[in-house]
Amino acid sequence: MNIQKIFEGSLFLVLTLFMNGCTDDYSIDIAPGPGVTPQVTFTPENGITFTGDGGSSTIEVISNMPDSTISTAVDYSTASESWCIAKINSNKVTITAEKNTSYSPRTATLKIKAFNISKAFTIEQDGKNYETDVTYPYNKVYKVNIPTVADFDKANTKIFSVMDGSQKIAEICLEYLNSTNISSRAIVVYGVAKRDGNSADYKNGYITQYIDDSNNVKESNANGSIISFNYETNECSYIPIKRNYPAIKTVYLSSTGITSKEIANATELTANPYYVTDKSGNQYPIIKIGCEVWLGSNLHTLKMGDGTDITLTATPTADCAIYPRQNASLDPAVFGYLYYASFITGSNIALMETSIIDSHDCAWRISTGGGSNASGIMGTTTDWQRLFKYVGKDQLGTILSEGYTWANGGAGGIDLSTITNITGMSIPAAGEIYGTSFAWGAETQAFFFYQGGYGYSLCEVDGKAIDQVGVRVWPHSKDACSIRLVRVDNHNLE
């Protein structure tokens, strides 16, 4: 390093006065000697990053000015912060960050000046490592590559499962995350805790890839962070641990949790698409919304759980299945069939539920619903109410539908240009039969639910506001509606 010998007399005195009289000497700016152009190189030139555990990083300052002219300052977003310290030793500046005791990442700005040339460095630190409140029953460490968005689209299902023989290790979900701090699709990994061996631990989800509105993976502080679902309220909490982080393509699962950090001698497993079938041989995609897992399309089985055949007709009569919209040309894999509520009562409820065959030995049940349409109270206790509360009742048509026309509510409506099917629910307009004729036309959708053999409309045309859909009890046992089933999960963590 070429240390100039220009400053011996008065300049040294000036520097001494400044250094002694100022606690933050970063503001010092002294003119160089005659004919000298200050030159400074900082190595490295980029920002500084720390894990949640903290640590130190050093920047070397190469200059044709004396080392004594190097000064520093650290700026925080709030005045009360003081989690990192900058120290100068000769021509090196070492920045040391304390351990982050919060799950939230944090940033600061380090400013270095050599003589009158300054440079700012961004300091970023992750939050502390997430501590799960459950021990996973794994006697190995597993390595799993994350399916891409294209993999999910090709498989036409929103859940991939990871198996070690007959033991389920994890579920990987392309899902819609909706909380105070995040509203987006993401690919999330959930371990399987020791319960019934099938239900995933939705309290401790590990976000691997944030998916933007254009279906692209992007860097985000969501990647590497945690999503936690409350089983009672079906609400999620977003815990941002990482700073702006690249998409995570590989995870490691052990008895203590999920991480993207490589673990030696891990057993590599492959994630495979998760489907269920019915007794007629039809295959169904699976979706996760909130902490509940649903069929990804309407039921269209023609055999009950005990093998009993179900009559299919285009002419509305009692105790049968009806072509949606009374149109035999519509694809049942998309629209499903309409089933008379009078037919799905008593012991037939269980027979319709057991018409679903799950290779993971999970049980399925007819979804619950109901509520007061007159008061407009959404409620939180039934499956449909929990679903609507999670996605936001004002958005039902735009994020549950997939390009199909729903009739407008009296005080609202659905803007077709805003339809995204971001949840993967894929609810089409299949109509509803009232007795022997359409209660609502082919542009609406209604579902049977368990309580009392009732059905209700998802999109009403009788003057009800769009933000009340889904809560109306339609107590007519002779109606024919669509059916969606929900997986029976045991969330009693051990």
Closest alpha carbon to 456 in 349, 344, 371: 371
- Cβ 404 vs Cβ 287: under 8 Å: no
d(CA 362, CA 373): 33
8 Å CB contact between 363 and 352: no
> What's the token pair of residue 219?
């860097």
Q: Is 73 exposed, middle or buried (0-12, 13-18, 19+ CB in 10 A)?
A: middle
Q: Which H or E run contains 94?
A: strand 92-97
All domains of the chain, ordered by start, with CATH?
A: 10-125 (2.60.40.10), 142-273 (no CATH), 289-487 (no CATH)
Taken as a whole, the chain contains a residue count of: 494
Question: How many CA atoms within 13 Å lie on the side-chain side of 359?
Answer: 17
How would you classify the pairing of strands 205-211 and 217-218? antiparallel
Q: Could you count the other beta carbons within 10 Å of the beta carbon of residue 76?
A: 15
The pLDDT of residue 5 is 31
Question: How far apart are the C-alpha atoms of 458 and 406, rounded to whole Å?
Answer: 9
- Contacts with 381 (C-beta within 8 Å, 6 or more apart), sequence order: none
**Grouped pLDDT means (10 residues each) for the chain, 494 residues:** 34 34 43 73 90 94 90 87 93 95 89 91 89 84 97 96 93 93 92 72 93 84 89 88 87 93 96 97 96 95 96 84 89 92 86 95 87 53 82 63 52 54 83 72 74 60 43 68 91 58
Which pLDDT belongs to residue 462? Answer: 45
d(CA 262, CA 145): 12
Residue 169 and residue 141: Cα distance in Å, rounded?
A: 10
The amino acid at 358: D
Q: What is the pLDDT of residue 289?
A: 94
pLDDT at 19 (0 to 100): 35
Determine the pLDDT at residue 244: 76
Task: State both tokens at 398.
Answer: 């735009």
How far is Cα 341 from Cα 312, in angstroms, rounded to an integer?
15
Confirm if 43 and 59 have CB atoms less than 8 A apart.
yes
What six digits make up the tokens of 10? 């008065």
**Do residues 366 and 350 touch, judged by C-beta distance below 8 A?**
no
Type of residue numbered 93: V
Cβ atoms 405, 429 nearer than 8 A = yes
3-state helix, strand, coil in the chain (%, to 5): 15, 35, 50
In this prediction, residue 70 carries a pLDDT of 92
Residues whose CB falls within 8 Å of the CB of residue 7, separated by 6 or more in sequence, listed in order = 15, 33, 66
Per-residue confidence (pLDDT) for residue 458, from 0 to 100: 59
Among 137, 141, 161, 153, CA closest to 185? 153
- Sequence-ordered list of residues with C-beta below 8 angstroms from that of 47, at least 6 positions apart, any chain: 121, 122, 123, 124
